[in-house]
């Protein structure tokens, strides 16, 4: 296994987030590979770690001053053994090939866990939507799609949003696709509710995370989220809907953040404050500091890049829901959380905990740790339900979609527990999710021959 990991790293120099995720996944699936000589004979690990296809393209667009700007565009078509490539588009200045390869690798297993017919992919650009006008964002999205449109399709590759790509961006991207192809298909998910989108898709990732946390607590401890104090990071789509569902379930949410800083609201974020946060982030596209200007009970702390930890994770709480970005909880943060009595860590962002932090959580029997590929699967599950509705050319009610998502999350939770138990790691959701997702994908690859 170590030799294989070394070879993969040598072939992909500089892709550190990809190396991180490959190392962690491979470490946990070792017993499965040892049990299955067919996997070794078919070099399944090397094949899994190499994307089917990587598209890299130039995106030139004109800013409001009439100056031409150029960004990188990417789409990684990782694995389609289970269905069309499926996964997000991220627009953020930090986007590199290594980040997108980590995302598409994770996405492949996450999508497998949903049980829906979805392959894995991901893409995006180093374009930064922050501070851009709507017209600049539209021109960028249109230029991005003038290349991407030839590679995607409702049965080929179906993108969705991720960091920096929300309803506005999906609208501009879909509009350009429709014009270029002269067809209206379910080529993207996360579409507007009035033009092919699914009810509940905006809420799905955040709600799904909270459903997963509630399922873990009920199943393992016979407890609920009612009355629990929760730390949430981020203030984007996933964070806001995580907060919404936590409030709905009777929990108290003490924090929210963006890249500039975080707020600690000792009175808890209530529905009125959440509505303000939503307007702040989606209509005014403002900063989280404004929350503390409006609500004096909240304390704002700006981000200090010189610190070796993030102070948001130093507050006493029962549950933590990291909803911002990768590696936002490091080893020191993990220690701070554990020392302050944390009992549940539910990953809503992709890979928000460093490997050292994960080890610290999974080593402790009194902590429930839910890895992103299980806990954040509600979003892509409802994307799969959006594709199903588009194919049937009809729309399900909000209640119907919510019900189906809950069934998927409940099954997924049990699948993780069963796989962990089978491989002698009872209660370890990370091991269970990696093994169950991996087995489903590689068995399909083996059934389908060497292609
Ligand atoms: P949004 O763009 O809506 O929100 C992202 C939030 O995270 C913002 O508050 C942003 O702050 C903050 N953030 C982003 N990058 C950084 C950074 N480098 N440091 C600190 N804060 C940062 O994205 P989403 O809510 O959609 O996505 C959040 C996470 O959830 C990501 O990891 C994504 O991959 C994952 N995810 C998303 C799904 C979806 O359906 N959208 C599904 C499953 C997982 P700022 O505005 O200052 O940049
Ligand atoms: O990380 C993720 O699961 C997403 N960004 C959503 C992917 C999707 O296709 O719904």
Q: Which pLDDT band, with edges at 50, 70 and 90, does 426 fall under?
A: very high
Query: How much is the pTM?
Result: 0.98
Distance CA(73)–CA(71), nearest Å, equals 7
List the one residue out of 381, 387, 388, 433 whose CA is nearest residue 402: 381
User: Quick one: which atom of ligand 1 is closest to the CA of 257?
Assistant: 9
pLDDT digits (tens, 9 = 90+) for 178-213: 999 999 999 999 999 999 999 999 999 999 999 999
Euclidean distance between CA atoms 185 and 387, whole angstroms? 9
Report the pocket of ligand 2 as residue ranges, CB < 6 Å. Answer: 86-88, 107, 110, 160, 162, 189, 350, 376, 379-380, 383
pLDDT at residue 264, rounded to an integer: 98
Which residues, including other chains, have CB under 8 Å from residue 449's CB and lie 6 or more apart?
none
From the alpha carbon of 110, which atom of ligand 2 is closest?
3
pLDDT of residue 56 exceeding 90, the answer is yes
Distance from Cα 41 to the centre of ligand 1, integer Å: 39
Nearest to 154 by CA among 394, 392, 393, 387: 387
List own/partner pairs for 27-35 with CB under 8 A and 24 or more apart.
27/1, 28/430, 28/431, 28/434, 28/435, 29/434, 29/435, 29/438, 30/1, 31/423, 32/423, 32/435, 32/438, 32/439, 33/1
**What local confidence, expressed as pLDDT, does residue 415 receive?**
98
Mutate to test the pocket of ligand 2, among 95, 160, 408 (most ligand atoms within 8 A of CB): 160
Domains of the chain: 2-22+43-184 (3.40.50.10860), 203-375 (3.40.50.720)
β-partners of residue 301 are 262
Closest residue by Cα to atom 7, ligand 2, is: 87
Average pLDDT, the chain: 97
C-alpha of residue 233 to centroid of ligand 1, in Å: 9
Res 27: pLDDT: 92
Q: Compute, in angstroms, the gap from residue 414 CA to the centroid of ligand 1.
A: 27
Q: How far is the CA of 44 from the centre of ligand 1 (A)?
A: 32
**C-alpha of residue 243 to centroid of ligand 1, in Å:** 14
Distance of CA 322 from the midpoint of ligand 1 (Å): 10
- Which atom of ligand 2 is found nearest the CA of 106? 1
């Amino acid at each position: 296994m170590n030799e294989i990991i070394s070879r993969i790293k040598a072939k992909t120099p500089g892709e550190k987030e990809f190396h991180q995720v490959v190392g962690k996944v491979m470490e946990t699936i070792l017993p499965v590979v040892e049990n299955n000589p067919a996997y070794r004979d078919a070099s399944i690990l090397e094949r899994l770690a190499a994307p089917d296809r990587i598209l890299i393209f130039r995106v030139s667009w004109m800013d409001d001053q009439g100056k031409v700007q150029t960004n990188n565009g990417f789409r990684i078509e990782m694995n389609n053994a289970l269905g069309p490539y499926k996964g997000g588009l991220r627009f953020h200045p930090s986007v590199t090939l290594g980040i997108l390869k980590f995302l598409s690798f994770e996405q492949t297993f996450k999508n497998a866990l949903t049980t829906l017919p979805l392959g894995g992919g991901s893409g995006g650009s180093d374009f930064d939507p922050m501070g851009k006008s709507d017209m600049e964002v539209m021109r960028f999205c249109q230029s991005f799609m003038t290349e991407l449109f030839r590679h995607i399709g409702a049965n080929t590759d179906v993108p969705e949003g991720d960091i920096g790509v929300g309803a506005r961006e999906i609208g501009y991207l879909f509009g350009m696709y429709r014009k270029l192809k002269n067809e209206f298909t379910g080529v993207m998910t996360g579409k507007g509710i009035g033009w092919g989108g699914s009810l509940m898709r905006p809420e799905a990732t955040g709600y799904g995370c909270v459903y997963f946390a509630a399922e873990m607590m009920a199943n393992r401890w016979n407890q609920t989220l009612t009355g629990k104090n929760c730390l949430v990071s981020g203030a984007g789509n996933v964070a806001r809907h995580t907060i919404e569902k936590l409030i709905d379930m009777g929990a108290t949410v003490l924090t929210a953040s963006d890249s500039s800083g975080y707020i600690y609201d000792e009175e808890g974020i209530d529905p009125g404050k959440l509505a303000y946060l939503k307007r702040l982030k989606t209509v005014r596209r403002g900063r989280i500091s404004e929350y503390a200007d409006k609500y004096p009970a909240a304390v704002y702390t700006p981000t200090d890049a010189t610190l070796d930890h993030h102070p948001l994770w130093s507050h006493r709480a029962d549950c933590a829901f990291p909803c911002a970005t990768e590696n936002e909880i490091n080893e020191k943060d993990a220690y701070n959380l554990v020392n302050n009595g944390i009992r549940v860590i539910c990953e809503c962002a992709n890979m928000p905990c460093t490997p050292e932090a994960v080890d610290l959580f999974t080593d402790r029997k009194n902590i429930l740790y839910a890895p992103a590929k299980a806990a954040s699967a509600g979003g892509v599950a409802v994307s799969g339900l959006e594709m199903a509705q588009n194919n049937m050319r009809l729309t399900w009610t909000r209640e119907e979609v919510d019900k189906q998502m809950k069934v998927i999350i409940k099954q997924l939770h049990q699948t993780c527990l069963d796989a962990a138990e089978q491989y002698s790691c009872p209660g370890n959701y990370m091991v269970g999710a990696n093994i169950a997702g991996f087995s489903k994908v590689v068995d399909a690859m083996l059934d389908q021959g060497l292609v």
